[in-house]
Structure 1
Amino acid sequence: MQLYSRSAGTGLPVVLLHAFPLSSAMWLAQREGLSSLCRVITPDLRGFGGSRLGDDEPSVDLMADDVARLLDAEGIDRAVIGGLSMGGYVTMAFCRRHPDRVQGVLLADTKAGPDPQPARDNRERIAQAVLSQGAEVLLTDVLPALIGPTTKERRAMVLGRVKGLVQSAPPGAVAWAQRAMAARPDSFETLAGLKVPLLVVVGEEDELATPADAEAMARAVPDGRLEIIPKAGHLSAVEQPEAFNAAVAEWLRTELGGAAPPRG
């Protein structure tokens, strides 16, 4: 499976994995804002955007292996791997399966614990509904929690953009991804074993992956860093891109030497 990907910039490779049920289009401001510092690589995870879904059983491990194959195709040995929400789950799976290829880890608006049973049941409900009825269930049951109240009140263009991305998600990919996320394991042990810098970012108003979830992940690593983005909900990189980019840029400069070339 070869993922479709957009890239910008040169130097240290930084892979950013998108949230559910969006695509790499959500990282536009990061490709523009961080490309002077590093090489920003934003793939579409399987089934979303320009990437095919394939016939494999749902699995975040498989999604992580897709990313490893993308690095192979790009000639990249090691990279900073980061993701928001679902992209964070795939990032942690990548750390578990390909630890020698990780130069740094960015986890945004995600959590390391597995889904409790009610959350797994809800994912299956949405998977079945989207397959039988289309994207309407995403607009009623998923979209409202993706963005914070400040964005809803003050940033109509951001809300409209996110709604458009949600509406364009293919039903088959939505169902597959929900089932992959429902089956994901606990990742706290993976985080505790990290030997590279970790940055955890969370929107102050995120109710899906809360600041408390973010604090727990940052604490799991000896030198984990936590950045809370004010007036942002679950899609902190989309809602407050300047603050998000500033936090990531500062971390890259101080922990990873900015635009250093990839080692390999």
Structure 2
Amino acid sequence: MAGTPLVMLPGLLNTRRLFEHQIAGLSDIADCIVPELWHHDTMAALAGAALAAAPRRFALAGFSMGGYVAFEILRQAPERVERLALLDTQAVPDTPEATKRRQGLLEQTKIGRFHGVRPSLLRQIVHRSHLRDTAITQPIVDMAREVGAEGFVRQQTAIMGRPDSRPLLVDIRVPTLVIVGREDRATPPPQSQKMAADIATSRLVVVEECGHMSPLEKPDDVTAALRGWLTP
């Protein structure tokens, strides 16, 4: 029997490798599709490309920036989404301070100073207990290298231009899973708690001893939560 079509949307400087554990662990119940999200510089275009690669109806899981793309998919084609999972993401737009930081990174990148993911950034996105675990940190570095400077510029441009997705939340009616690392500093748990509170059909899972990169940091926990969401 064919599995549930599951479109999985990676985050900033991420590739399919982010979800390797989930793809393998859910292979008996899900047929996973992971679009490359670094070829366009608007959320509308990224969502359109993901929809073009997806079947008519599918479950949708978005991590971090992938969550922003998931919200745009809900704007463009809500009738195609059967289930929704939001991992370490947020519905709010950037603050002016966050936009300024992103613009600074883009300026550095455009003059050739793109260095991928450095140790200083890893400390911001990975739980302190995982910083010496190369099974977690090396994929993050490798994925950033694969996306590269041009992909990074396009992704950051799309992120800065994204709309406020909070008005969408109250209209979501499909089974929804919200996952967040307990010590996620990039998209802190209060943001996930607010999203879950506004989505009537949601369930919130807080992953302990975990930073922002939950699919890599706590793969068993994330895969188990997704399995329960896909097979309620």
- Which bin holds the TM-score, normalised by the shorter protein? over 0.9
Query: What is aligned with 1:216?
Result: 194
Alignment match, 2:30: 38
**1:44-80 per-position Cα deviation (integer Å, ceiling 9, x unaligned):** 1133xxxxx5xxxx21111111111112xxxx21111
| Residues 1:14 and 2:6 aligned together | yes
Separation (CA, whole Å) in 2 of partners of 1:222 and 1:39: 27
In 1, distance between residues paired with 2:199 and 2:212?
Answer: 22
1:127-206 aligned within 5 A: 127-136=106-115, 138-139=117-118, 142-153=121-132, 155-206=133-184
Out of 60, 66, 82, the residue aligned to residue 103 of structure 1 is: 82
1:190-211 Cα offsets, whole Å, 9 max, x none, are: 1211121111001111011111
* Alignment match of 2:91 (pick from 112, 115, 140): 112
How far 1:18 moved relative to its partner? 0.5
1:188 Cα deviation from its structure 2 partner: 1.2
Structure 1 residue 144 displacement after superposition: 3.1
Name the CA shift for 1:10/1:130 in 2 (closer, same or farther; >3 Å).
farther
Cα distance, 1:253 vs structure 2:
0.9
TM-score (norm. length: structure 2): 0.94
Contact preservation (8 Å) 1:152, 1:159: yes
Query: Equivalent residue for 1:260?
Result: none
Match of 1:63 among 35, 40, 46: 46
For 1:85, the aligned partner's letter is S
Matching residue within 229, 238, 241 for 2:219: 241
Cα shift at 1:173: 1.0
TM-superposition CA deviations, 1:89-116 (whole Å, max 9, x none) = 0001111111111101110000000000
Given that 2:180 and 2:214 are in contact with CA atoms closer than 8 Å, whether structure 1 keeps it comes out as yes
**Matched residues in 1 for 2:151 and 2:121: separation?**
15
Give structure 2 stretches of 5+ with no counterpart. none
Cα distance, 1:131 vs structure 2: 2.2
Report the identity percentage. 27
How many residue pairs end up in the alignment?
232
1:80 and 2:59 correspond: yes
Whether the aligned pair in 2 keeps the contact of 1:130 and 1:138 (CA below 8 Å) is: no
Q: Is the 8 A contact 2:172 2:201 kept in 1?
A: no
Unaligned runs of 5+ in 1: 1-8, 48-52, 255-264
Q: For the Cα contact (< 8 Å) 2:179–2:207, is it kept in 1? A: yes
For the aligned residues, what is the CA RMSD? 1.6
SS at match of 2:34: strand
Give CA deviations for 1:212-251 in whole Å, capped at 9, x if unaligned.
1110111111121100111111110111111100011011
Deviation sequence 1:158-182 (CA, Å, 0-9, x none): 1122122223322111011101101
Q: TM-score, normalised by structure 1?
A: 0.83
